[in-house]
Amino acid sequence: MDEKRLQNAIKEILIAIGDDPSREGLLDTPKRATKMLVEMLEGMQYTNDEIAMMFDKSFDEDSFIDSRNIVVIKDIEIFSFCEHHMALMYDMTVDIAYMPNGRVLGLSKLARIADMVSKRLQLQERITQDILYIIKKITNSNDIFVRIKGCHSCVAARGIKKKSFTITKAKIGDIKESELD
């Protein structure tokens, strides 16, 4: 990311909205806001394949584990930015279920994948698909279910101005949503 350009753009936004970037309370705002954006949009630097390589910490499935077992991790908290309005998508939770296909993914890696994918200008639908794609790439599982629930400030704070939850789901294979509960 071009941090200097970001700082200049934020300064220009402050001027465009009628404020004075040289006033005391705003002096360091371009620098602080840039630091925040670099952190919150870290995933912009990586493709899904690169994220899969980053978090490919899987292990051979123990022979005593039934290959029909389902791994479920729920309520992974994430946030993202709507690519249409650059507005925050918040109060988001991700639920992931998969059947190991000889490979078990470290549980923290599932949360890290969800987190990194969400740190982009995104659509909730794409986040859901991206997570599924990356888990498939790492585990080669043919049974994966991803569900995301979240609020969008582009709905809650503008336009209709109603807080609501959007739910997106993506799956391959035979895992049923009821198996996540």
- pLDDT 10s digits, 68-114: 789 999 999 999 999 999 999 999 999 999 998 888 898 999 999 99
- pLDDT 10s digits, 23-69: 999 999 999 999 999 999 999 999 999 999 999 988 887 655 555 78
User: CB neighbours (10 Å) of residue 169?
Assistant: 15
- pLDDT 10s digits, 125-152: 999 999 999 999 999 999 999 999 999 9
Cβ neighbourhood burial of 66 (10 Å; 0-12, 13-18, 19+): exposed
